[in-house]
Structure 1
Amino acid sequence: MNSILLVDDERWVRTALRYSIKKLFPSFQIAHECENGLEALDWMKQNQADLILTDIRMPLMDGLVFIKQLREENEQNDIIIISGYDDFPFVQEALRLGVTDYLLKPVQDSDLKQCLEQWKKKRSRAEKEENSKIDNESFPPSTIERVLQYIKETPLREITLAETAKQLHVNPSYLSQLFKQHLNKNFVDYVTEQRIEEAKRLLTATSLRMSEIAERLGYSDLAYFSNIFKRMTGSSPSNYRKSSRSL
């Protein structure tokens, strides 16, 4: 599933984008929404998204500074920027920073569809090329063992693909493909599974508040944590706690 992070200070814009994306691409998932670049950076420290749609002009931290910060932290997410007609100099700067594409406000469904379809094709080609490269390489068994050991020993709230790759001195793309090859799942899904298992333990064995548990696991947004927990377990965190204590 392709996951998307929406970053725009205008709520109605985020709502319109979310509605259009779900209508045009039902398989896409809106992972989260943020009002500015600073909030998005904070979310990205503990979470991942395949694609970021971000406005240029926002308070606290605008889109350009947000993108620069991501690149400085070696985050190579695909990014599509949203801008007004008067923002073209900013668009040029963003393109130099390696953004995938840009959309003009107000965003039309036809433009959004074309943009996301092109992104899907580009992503598919890149994955095929990477898989072909991976198939022709041999990985030391110790590499994946080191990754799993690092995840086991590191607080879950601190684990990201970029940081794990940095600590093990490997390329993030290499690490992502390594996971798929050896574990038949991607890195983010594996870490999410570990977080949910730890959430189950904390809900059963402690009296920590839901917000405290979410924070320990790296989720700054309680609603987002609750949605992931329910999607993976079929039960909300509060109901899971009640049922486990009634046994």
Structure 2
Amino acid sequence: MAGSSSSSIDMPKLPPNFNILVIDTDCKVLELIEKSCNENSHQVTTCSKSLSAVDLLLKKEIDFHLIIMELHMPTMDGFGFLHFLNKEVIDVPFIMMSEDNSHPSQEKAITLGVCHYWVKPFLDYTYMFERNLLSLSMIRHHFHCRRIKKNIDSLEDDEISETSYSSDGEAEADD
């Protein structure tokens, strides 16, 4: 049967190389991630301060495909940064990294929309930045955002159907 069905999956189109923003106060971690990303043909921008990354994202000069950030940062931690991204409607896949291996931290990060939670120290950086592994994070983010949008759209449809309008234009809830 030719044509697309309503259940077909719209796969995101990913660029051949990714622009990655990495945020961490540990210069050694930044250097290792940058080296590994460069070996895998990705462009990397590093920030040692979260507010520098905020400024960079607000300028919108670089179209980032992925953000990797340490959870525990001064001034604005990873959770605060995720709230900033949501508030500014900056839709970029996000990987949180931390030495904090606790279930509450990982659960909170996932609830806020991270694609992955990487626990430090890393045994081997190189495989983590291969195109196919990073692509999985981006695709996971894409489908997560589609699911949220679908849920919001269905919620809005439900709210509209539960509301009727009187002749003077005011909304009245159905009882």
TM range, normalised to the smaller chain? 0.5 to 0.7
Q: In the alignment, what sits opposite 1:72?
A: 87
Paired letter, 2:48: E
Q: In the alignment, what sits opposite 1:120?
A: 135
Deviations 1:37-85 (A, max 9, x none): 2221111001331100000001111111011111111111000111114
Matched, 1:29 2:43: yes
Deviations 1:114-150 (A, max 9, x none): 78633314546988xxxxxxxxxxxxxxxxxxxxxxx
Q: In the alignment, what sits opposite 2:98?
A: 83
What root-mean-square deviation, in Å, do the aligned CA atoms of Structure 1 and Structure 2 show? 2.6
Equivalent in 48, 69, 82 of residue 54 of structure 1: 69
Distance 1:106 1:116 in 2: 21
Paired letter, 1:11: C
Distance 1:83 1:64 in 2: 12
Deviations 1:150-186 (A, max 9, x none): xxxxxxxxxxxxxxxxxxxxxxxxxxxxxxxxxxxxx
Name the SS of the counterpart of 2:59 in structure 1: coil
Q: Is the 8 A contact 2:37 2:129 kept in 1?
A: no
TM-score (norm 1): 0.45
> Could you tell me how far 1:13 is from its partner in structure 2?
1.0
Q: Any residues of structure 2 matched to 1:76-225 within 5 Å, and which?
A: 76-109=91-124, 112-113=127-128, 117-121=132-136, 123=138
**Are the structure 2 counterparts of residues 110 and 20 from structure 1 closer, same or farther at C-alpha, using a change threshold of 3 Å?**
closer
Distance 1:72 1:91 in 2: 21
Q: In the alignment, what sits opposite 2:29?
A: 13
Matched, 1:42 2:55: yes
Paired letter, 2:35: Y
Q: How many residues align?
A: 124
TM-score (norm 2): 0.62
> Could you tell me how far 1:28 is from its partner in structure 2?
0.9
Higher relative contact order (CA 8 A, sep 6+): 2
**Are the structure 2 counterparts of residues 44 and 17 from structure 1 closer, same or farther at C-alpha, using a change threshold of 3 Å?**
same
- Greater strand share, 1 or 2? 2
- Greater helix share, 1 or 2? 1
Distance 1:62 1:126 in 2: 21
Name the SS of the counterpart of 1:99 in structure 2: coil
* Structure 1: stretches of 5+ with no match in the other structure: 128-247
* Structure 2: stretches of 5+ with no match in the other structure: 1-16, 143-175
Distance 1:125 1:82 in 2: 17
> Could you tell me how far 1:10 is from its partner in structure 2?
1.1
Task: Name the % identity.
Answer: 27
